[in-house]
Chains A and B, each alone.
Chain A
């Protein structure tokens, strides 16, 4: 292994301080350029025609009138995207999702696209495209889709993970089972068993910036793509594969990104924009409308989950099972598998089994949404955990502490845990002042735990020292929430220089080696790791230059506090050389000074959080107000505490929206009825209180600074924490998210009957 990634417990002078982000001024003055903010000479406007039907055969598309409209430069349908996938089913799914191939699979599925000289002409052209549909039966509900006789979405899908392999088509794309021990024996030992079913509705990441790109692709197969994305390298590779381009000839630049949360890890219109550009041989700017974002990008699954947990009178869980049905939209996914893996990850269980079923429906292709699939499973499991504690007459936090996973626990998804933070977060909850606040009438308190894997992946950074001693750090992960500041802190820490001396740039695909998509809470973890190593490489060069200047062996040079110092009494007469001094002389001592690193940042370290929440429910209207909300999470090491807190607060707020308001509402016609921010209501400022946070730092043994990813876990507990709080407030167990006013009133009414 080329680099030592072990945690070293070093001291810090920069890391852990709350410095101002380097891109702050750009972002408060309107100067920062996002996806829709770039333009090119001669650019065309791209627009996409979408299916109004949930499921239909496309028997004919007549584009002739649109093509003849003056100002229209290119028109595309599925026929303009030859199959270059080489039999790769996953790639074909992406291609077919970008543009329908003979069949529209959901309301909003792209069926044609145009590029024209202006928006007006492009809109007129869309109206002139005549599509003849033959409507097919559709299904949008996850439970309906697995019933016998449900419309089959794809006749080629056979349920994977079942032995013997099935021979007939099914909407269940995959069955995944995890667990260990003997659950039947475990339940036989239980004094109390609780079994309950839950549903969660589909939600969208709801980033404020719609997808946008500016695509240029010439007849020579060379092109450029400016795009709002979490992974410009991945976008390059996928677009190149789908369109038959050489990877090196497509330069992808990630714009500033106006929120992603997993939704910008996948291509949607980008291959279409590139293909329009190739056909018209002019740049094409394609910006999605909000309606398109809701109907045709990748929300998270709606789910249906059954949980059963048994425990002894002493509070020890003896067995737990879960069956999880997650819809993945119109294309196979593995979202239920992640639900099955994460469902019981917080607990130390001898006998556990979770089975996930990935289900196809006529809805948009599901994409990752912040700790994908974990919040729904946690909602079901943490609700039953609360019910079980109540049945046993135990405090819900004590019950969790008694059963919490710890170092050495065999995780429900298989491996044995190293040092983990679930126990400490629960201890922090137990001792938190929040838990001692008095509750009034119609108020309730809820606690819940959450888990997410986190991961690292391929990473590459470049660190260049200017002649004035200022440092440019180029990274390949995008800055979704302040990571430039964190990475500059790390570089400054390693080099021993001022934070302000470091400038961080997000490199395009032609300036750095491949970087995996910024997902899995990996930005600061993995680019941070690569930055440490790149800086250490640069320090090696700095030491060599100093040694050469002094004419002593490099072994006698050490790097301390931003300067080279000559060791040993014989070198007492040599005054230290600062980074600035060495940099100033670099043109004559061997040229530019740089450090570079490529690493596969593995060992990201699993992440745990515990949340507490107080609510007040209006029994007349069913409306819920969040009174207090507190997040406790293990960050390993908080590089920039402000932005760690920001992740905790943002995840909690998204979870609160999911728990109380947000849902995709489909009509009987299979059409999405609330494709806008008016009717798909995300939390606004007046909906929320201040969100309190407590950062725990249990070092990740696999990172030099002990960093764990922090971005995702905070969205996992809120559904359950609020579910438990509302249930305690109204005295009825809530089993369906979102707990909108009508659902809460209905639950109260049903309980009365």
Chain B
């Protein structure tokens, strides 16, 4: 009995010593892991921090040389300057109207198309989705010139509603493709059950399938919103007058030929980025669930 106890304690002792031998190596690995995580974190977040820090500095502090990493004092003056300038609200309104209309149109149109492609067999039901994916890859520079000429011809140049079809050109194809993916995850049997219970095709789609596919729809809508809100190339080419500028365009025009008010510019950057960052972090789970396809229990 005592012998067995002794042997078990020696066994435990050798085990402990073996762990001791391993431990420094493990600890070193752990330290290395956290050091590299922190390096990646600082590298990723620092420009974001720098934007916010600059926006909260007084003018003298911004142009102090050498620059200090931590602001000397915090002031909201840059935000006040930005928000009282009449144009800022105009730009924000323009961005909002444009984003909402593009989102509504592309979601409505891609919902029906995506559903039909996922559910029904018809001529082109195989080729069409692939074609949509191709449409997404067309380089904007090739579309730019035909759009310019077309909008000029229609007299839609320099107008917000002229930008709507342009934005649809690079949103819609991928929307349809994504929607098709979400609808194909909704089980067939559900629709069949609804039809057996007497729903017409449309009712089954509207009352049964759409609610099931809702996470996917939210994901696609968010994706469109983020991209229309951020779009710069088309807006900067087709919008000529100041009153029709969107937020990213208005922001870029704050860069002066000789001097730039970086405090106000960075404040504008914070205000432009804020809705996107908020939407992303609030919907993160939802978006991942929608994209990951875990939204529907099959």
Q: Do A and B actually bind?
A: no
Residues of B within 8 A of A (CB): none
